[in-house]
Amino acid sequence: MINETEAAAARARTLKMLDDAGIALTEDERNNVELVELGLGELEKTGLEIITYVNTDRYCAKEIVLFPRQTCPEHRHPDVDGAQGKMETFRCRWGRVFLYVSGEPAAQPQASPPEGSEAHYTVFHEIVLSPGEQYTIPSDTLHWFQGGADGAIVSEFSSTSRDESDIFTDPRIQRLPD
């Protein structure tokens, strides 16, 4: 787990990136930045920052902030109680994001798994998103993504988000740690 000083710094950094990108937020949204550190205590390397605009039983919209080379680890969104797993569209708003899914592996990937976690990454078909570009990830699809050298901001548009049901390849990860 990260301590309160680290959490405050990460929130301030997230808000600065969003401000610098010209993404306006309400005061409530600014006060509710979700730090997703996944129980590993290494937010700068593995994790992400999220602003959730809406998440209903029908749809979800979020901003995802990735610090430079920060990685959201490999995971999938399975079916839950007979409902299809989350399908999501990532639209890059700022920076570059490297997204990996099943398919022909990239000959020279532009991102790499965090050191020490390589064994938990299995898909390497690379999709590079720059501002204005988007990609839709079908439900129950293994994927992972990483911010570029300057970080990235990605708008996520999806069906209902059930983060507690995400399945990560790395067994050490807790999507909603205690």
pLDDT digits (tens, 9 = 90+) for 32-59: 999 999 999 999 999 999 999 999 999 9
Query: Residue 130 above 90 pLDDT?
Result: yes
pTM of the model: 0.96
Q: CB within 8 A of 137, min separation 6: which ones?
A: 87, 88, 89, 90, 99, 101, 143
> What is 4-168's CATH number?
2.60.120.10
- Name 50's bridge partners: 34, 64
Query: Residue 1 above 90 pLDDT?
Result: no
- Name 154's bridge partners: 64, 92
Q: Which of 81, 83, 36, 86 is nearest to 61 (CA)?
A: 86
Q: What is the largest CA-CA distance in the chain?
A: 44
Q: Which residue is it, tokens 């600065």?
A: 16
Mean pLDDT, residues 92-100 taken together: 98
For residues 159 and 42, what is the distance between their CA atoms, to the nearest angstrom? Answer: 29
Q: Which residue is it, tokens 């593995």?
A: 46
Task: Using pLDDT thresholds of 50, 70 and 90, give the confidence band for residue 178.
Answer: low
For residues 51 and 25, what is the distance between their CA atoms, to the nearest angstrom? Answer: 9
